[in-house]
Structures are given as structure tokens and as C-alpha cells.
Amino acid sequence: MMMSRNNQPQEKDIRRIVVIDQTIREGMQYRGMMFSERERLKLIEYQEALGVDISQSAYPSAHASEQGMLGTLYREAVQKGYRLRMAGLGRALVKDARLIMDAGVNDIQLHLALDRERPGAGYSRLNEVISFVRDRLQNAIIEVNILDLGRIDEEFLKKSTDVILTENRIDILTLPDTSGILSPKRLSDRIGLLKRLVNDSSCLLGVHCHNDLGMATANTITGVESGASVVEVSALGIGERNGIGDLFIVGSYLKKHGYRLNLKTENVEMFRRYYEYVDELCYQQTGHRLLTYNTPFFGDAVHTHVAGTHGVAPFGSKDNEDFFLNVLCGKHLVKKYLDKNNIDFDEKKLPAIVSRIKEYSARKGRRVDLEEVKDLLV
């Protein structure tokens, strides 16, 4: 992508990014959580309100109840006039595709694990299922996920992609880092190998990144900056093992840097309610929370400050900053702390106040609490 001097994508190169929210399907792979029909209906209500493009909301081949759920969600979306599209995920098998189609949806998402020793069998199986779908559903939107981007060697990946795109008409080719072992640089290199092949086929390139090494969100963003136009993410990054890329962080970063998304990242309070709802469901079923003190942007830690230089601008979603005083504090931070706690003081004496706080903190070997600060001003 060409970049302008301020490192923003130039207007002619800005792509629209399709957002697939996998909170439901990936969420049910997080410690075995289950979402009821009522809960899924609430989840897609949030997704619709927030401008998500596609909800991957069921895995019909796992159980008849999953196919039923997919059909229910699809009918709800149609009845309420949602712009949000429902999608089902399955293996690259005719029987899996049939179950998704029978639920009424047009978005058919398939995953394919290729065997380097017998790649022909995988290609043949994929050709069969895509032909099956195309013959029966003219307006189908087919996504194929090639597993596993982090473990497949580059030569085989490139050859497989060439064969798949040459022999089939697919709408989205997604590259999942299923094992969560890639760094942003390595993921970017692999996408670079395939950009020309994908562009020549006119299908969109997607990324799906797992968070085993804590890089899923960064990898997802890097994927877009390297040429992908589809992101698969979830609320709070909920998903298998350590989760996947975070819906809000990915969306807000991309939007801030000029990419076009339907996602309403400016509606921070709606996002907060969505995240709090997912968090509460998680807590009810597992006893653990995803929305914690250290959660990026939404967690309380993001607006707490100790060093003076970090107390200058607001961070995260909260206007209500919080401050802690120890030997690292400075005049600016101490002033904000005193103002926030409605403590009267003589600004001319601020340097002396800061010095007392630092000395007290050093002597005690800990931060200074509010009552101690008040005593130090006497």
C-alpha cells in the first residue's frame, strides 16, 4: 500500500474492511462456554447496532442444535431488517455445507487442512463442495480458510493458494494463524507471498489470528496493512485457548488510520455494554472475567497514572483519571491528584509538597495514600 508523508494510507489505496465478528462461535471454544438462543439473539443485536458486517454464529455440523440456532438467528435478522449477515462455519465437506445452506444463510465459511503428502485429496474435496454450493445457491458468499498459516511452509502455501484460486470461484480466502505462533513481520511476509494471486482472482483476503503469544490484535492489524480486506475478530478477543484479535481495538485502529469500516467504533458506550455483556456471560459460566483491570482501552488501568509525563493526556475510554503517588511523581501529577481529591494547597509550595511526598514514599517503600498526603500538607 502506498503511504503519504504522515504515514496515512493515501485515499486512492484505502480499502473497505469487512468485519466478521466471531464472538459466538469462537466464544463457545473458550473454556467450553455455551450461548443460549436468548443470549445469541442479544449478541447479534449488539453486533447489528455496532455495524458488524458478518456474524459467524454457529457450527452446524457439530450438532443439530447448532443448525437450529443458525436458522433462528438468520430469521431474526431478516425479520428485524438487520444489515448484519449470518454465517455458518464447517469443514470443506458437502455434508457440512448442506447443513449451513439448509439453515437459510448465504454465507458459507469452510476450513480446509491440507496434507502436504496428499494435497490432491484436499483440492478435490474443496472443488466438490464449492461446486455443490454454487450449483444450488447462486448468491452464495463462500469463504475458505486454509489451515494453518503458522505451520504451513511458504512454498506449499503459495502453490496451494494458486491451485485453489485457479480451480474455484471463492469470495474470501482467509489465512488463519490457528496455532498463534506468528509475529507481525512473519505474518506480513506470508500475506505478501499471496497478494498477487488473490488480487488476480478478485477474491478478498482475510486474516484470523490467535493470541497464544499475545500478538493476535497486532497481527490482525498488520494483516490489513499488508493487504487483507477481511478481519475475523471477537468481543474482548474471546476464543479458543488465549483468544483471537479484539474487535474494538482492531476496528478503532484501522478507522483512525483511514480505512473504511462500517464498524461504529465511535460508539464507545455501546461497545462497553457489549463487552460487559460478554464478560458477564463468561463470569457466570467460568467464574473468571475477560474484562479486567488491565484490559486494553476499557480496563481501569488504562487511565491510571504514576509518572508525571503520563498524566498529561486522557487515555482509554474514561474521563475520570486516577493517580497514584510514589517517588516517581512530579509537580503536574501531584497537582492533578490534589485537584481531583478537592485538597486545597498553595501552588507556590507545590515543589515542596512534591518533595515531601517523594521522601515519605522512599522511606516507607510504597505508594502514599490519600490520608497520608493530607497529613503531609499540614
Considering the four listed CATH numbers 1.10.1200.30, 3.20.20.70, 3.40.50.300, 3.40.50.2000, the one that applies to the domain covering 11-286 is: 3.20.20.70
Distance between CA atoms of residues 100 and 90, nearest Å: 8
Please, where are the H alpha helices in 3-112?
23-27, 37-49, 64-79, 94-102
Residues 71, 57: contact at Cβ < 8 Å? no
| Residues of the chain falling short of pLDDT 50 | 1-12
Nearest to 138 by CA among 171, 162, 111: 171
How many other CB atoms are found less than 10 A from the CB of residue 320? 8
Nearest to 203 by CA among 18, 3, 5: 18
pTM of the entire structure? 0.89
pLDDT of 195: 84
* Inter-CA distances, 56 with 79, 90, 125, 359, Å: 18, 11, 23, 56
Instruction: Tell me the CA end-to-end span of the chain in Å, nearest whole number.
Output: 61
What distance separates the 2 farthest-apart alpha carbons in the chain?
Answer: 83
Q: Where in the chain is the domain with CATH 3.20.20.70?
A: 11-286
Nearest to 239 by CA among 48, 67, 25: 25
Handedness of CA 78, 172, 115, 24 (dihedral sign): negative
Nearest to 86 by CA among 102, 68, 71: 71
Q: Which residue do the cell numbers 493517580 mark?
A: 323
Distance between CA atoms of residues 245 and 190, nearest Å: 18
